């Protein structure tokens, strides 16, 4: 409907323009073609009615020739403008949303920065506590290791000292036996050995021969007992 009104208005404008132009152009020649605007049924073709008919015919011809193309053009134009306006409205709404969003973000930046600083500070505190705990654990382990080493060294030294004392005592005993043992003592030892053998009257089961490098053993520990422990 609006397109149709627009078309009528344009046609009227063009017709009026033509009429004025015709009137102006014909004036200097003396027999110019003009419209008598105040005489509807004027003489000849100069009446307003005739001009209106003329204009209507022109309008019909124009509509016949260019009506569809113009309508399509205007429809397309109308649609594109409408779409552009719609797009503009959508973009505007989107921009307003973004503006609100960024506004909210800017408003929360301080809190976010504060939270971030707090998080970093807490993380640093945790890291510090972890490093301290590790250092303490390491120190405790080192201390324990040192104590164990010291204990082992003390035990080793004690064993060495005991061995040394025992060796010295055994050597002293051996020296005494070498120098102070009399024939009677040897005879008594031999008699005691023979007596202990007689105490084991039952046949002694054979035992593996001791290697020459190992100290000799009495059968009392391996084959039933044959030596007097009082030795």
- Give contact residues for another protein (rule: CB under 8 A): 159, 162-163, 166-167, 169-170, 173-174, 177-178, 181, 183, 185-187, 189-194, 196-198, 200-210, 215-219, 223, 226-228, 231
We find the least distance from the C-beta atom of residue 229 to another protein, in angstroms, to be 10
We find the least distance from the C-beta atom of residue 220 to another protein, in angstroms, to be 9
We find the least distance from the C-beta atom of residue 216 to another protein, in angstroms, to be 4
Decide whether 36 or 228 has the Cβ nearer to another protein.
Answer: 228
Decide whether 64 or 178 has the Cβ nearer to another protein.
Answer: 178
Decide whether 72 or 221 has the Cβ nearer to another protein.
Answer: 221
The answer to whether 205 and 223 are in contact (CB under 8 A) is yes
114-to-110, 162, 171, 194, 207 alpha-carbon distances in Å: 6, 71, 84, 101, 89
Decide whether 2 or 214 has the Cβ nearer to another protein.
Answer: 214
CA distance 52 to 66: 20
We find the least distance from the C-beta atom of residue 151 to another protein, in angstroms, to be 19
Q: Taking the CA of residue 27 as centre, how many other CA atoms within 13 Å lie in the half-sphere pointing to its CB? A: 7
Neighbours of 183 (CB within 10 A): 7
Go through the chain and tell me how many residues it has: 231
Q: Which two tokens stand for residue 9?
A: 């208005």
For the four alpha carbons of 94, 96, 99 and 104, in that order, the dihedral sign comes to negative
We find the least distance from the C-beta atom of residue 150 to another protein, in angstroms, to be 22
Decide whether 11 or 192 has the Cβ nearer to another protein.
Answer: 192
């Amino acid at each position: 409907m609006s397109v149709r009104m627009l078309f009528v208005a344009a046609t009227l404008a063009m017709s009026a323009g033509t009429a004025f132009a015709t009137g102006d152009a014909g004036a200097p020649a003396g027999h110019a073609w003009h419209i008598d605007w105040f005489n509807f049924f004027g003489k000849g073709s100069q009446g307003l009615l005739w001009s209106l008919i003329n204009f209507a015919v022109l309008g019909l011809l124009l509509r016949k020739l260019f009506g569809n193309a113009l309508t399509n053009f205007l429809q397309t134009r109308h649609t594109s403008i409408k779409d552009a306006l719609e797009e503009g409205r959508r973009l505007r709404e989107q921009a307003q949303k973004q503006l609100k969003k960024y506004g909210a973000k800017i408003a929360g930046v301080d809190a976010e920065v504060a939270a971030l600083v707090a998080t970093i500070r807490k993380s640093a505190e945790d890291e510090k506590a972890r490093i301290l705990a590790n250092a303490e654990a390491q120190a405790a382990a080192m201390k324990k290791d040192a104590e164990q080493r010291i204990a082992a060294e003390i035990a080793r030294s004690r064993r060495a000292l005991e061995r040394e004392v025992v060796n010295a005592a055994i050597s002293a005993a051996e020296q005494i036996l070498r120098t102070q043992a009399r024939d009677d003592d040897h005879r008594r030892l031999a008699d005691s050995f023979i007596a202990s053998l007689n105490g084991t009257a039952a046949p002694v089961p054979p035992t593996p021969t001791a290697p020459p490098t190992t100290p000799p053993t009495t059968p009392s520990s391996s084959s039933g007992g044959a030596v007097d422990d009082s030795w």
